[in-house]
Amino acid sequence: MLRIRTVAVAAIVAAACFALATTGAAQVNQTQHSDGWILAAAHAPGYHGSIWRTDLWVVFNYVGDSTYFDMYFNKAGQDNTFAAKHQLALTAGKKVYHIEDVVDHFLDLGDGSWSGAIHYVTNAKVQVWARVYSISADGRASYGELVEGIPTADASPDSDPWDADAQQWVYAIQHTADGRFRVNFGIVNPTGLTVQYRVRIFDSTGSNLDESIDVEVPPYSMIQLNDPLAALNGGEWDEIEVRSRALTEDGRGFLWASVVDNATNDAFFIRGVKRMTPSE
C-alpha cells in the first residue's frame, strides 16, 4: 500500500557533516502553497558535544475548524513510502505556529541521530520556514541557517536533457583547495518511485566539464553528496554552475547546495531552481 497524500504530490538535511551555517539570514518569501518540502532537517550530534536541531515556523493565510497541517519526516537514504503522518494541532483563527526541535519533539523519532527532509500537506495556504542550527555543548554559541519551504510543484520533472525546465540549477558556488570553502549538494526525491538522477558541472561559459555524478534516491528521500568538487580542478571553483535532472521516467527532483566557510562557520544554503522562460 502506497502512502497517499491528500494534495498534489523533495528534501534534506543538516547533521554535523552538513555544517550548515549562516549569519543574519533574512526571511525569503515563496508563493503560498498547500504541498511543500523543507529540504533540510535534522536532530543529530555534532562536533565537540554540540547538537544539531531544527525549529519550524508555519504561517497560514487562514485557519478554520476543518483546517489541517500534516507532516512526514523523510529519512535520508531510506524508502519513506510508509513514513508516519503527524498532524499539527491547530486553533481556529491562529495563523502562526512555531515548533522547537521539530524532528525530535514533534515528529517523535525516538533515540538516535536523524537527518532528512520534511514533507508537509495542508488544505489551506501556507509559507513554512525552518532554522537548522548547531548549539555548542555549553549552550553559549550556535550557528545555523534558514531553510525555506519549497512548493512540491517547483520540483523539476524528467524530460529531454536539453529542456531547461526539466533541470534544477545551482549557482553562487565557491570551493577552495585549501579546505576553507567547501560545497555539499543534496538531491531530493518527492515521488513514490526510486529515481536515478544525474548531476553535471559546467564552467563560467556554460561548457560541460565532462564530469557527472549519477545517484539513485529511494522514494520520498534525499541523498547528500559530500564535497564532490574537491577532486575537480585542484578543488578551486568560484565561477561554475551545477545542474541535476531526473533520468527515471515520471521522476521529479530537487537540488540544493550548502557552501561553508570552515574558518568562520559562515555558510549559505542554495535551493536549485528551474530555468524557466521569464514572463513577457
Instruction: State the average pLDDT over residues 133-159.
Output: 79
- Residues of the chain with pLDDT > 90, as a percent, come to 38
pLDDT at 190: 97
Within this chain, do residues 68 and 161 fall inside the same structural domain, yes or no? Answer: no
Instruction: State the average pLDDT over residues 100-118.
Output: 76
pLDDT at 41: 86
CB burial class (10 A; 0-12, 13-18, 19+) of residue 107?
buried
Within this chain, do residues 132 and 213 fall inside the same structural domain, yes or no? Answer: no
- Buried/exposed 88-104: b ≥16 CB within 10 Å, e otherwise: bebeeeeeebebeebbb
Distance of CA 177 to the CA centre of its chain: 26
Q: Check pLDDT > 50 for residue 18.
A: no
Residue ending a domain, among 118, 153, 188, is 153
CATH code for the domain of 217: 2.60.290.11
Q: Check pLDDT > 80 for residue 280.
A: no
Domain membership of residue 230 as a residue range: 157-271
Q: What is the pLDDT of residues 40-85, one digit of tens each?
A: 888 766 666 767 788 999 999 999 999 999 999 999 999 999 999 9
Please tell me the total count of domains within the chain. 2
Q: What is the pLDDT of residues 204-237, one digit of tens each?
A: 887 777 678 899 999 999 988 888 888 777 778 7
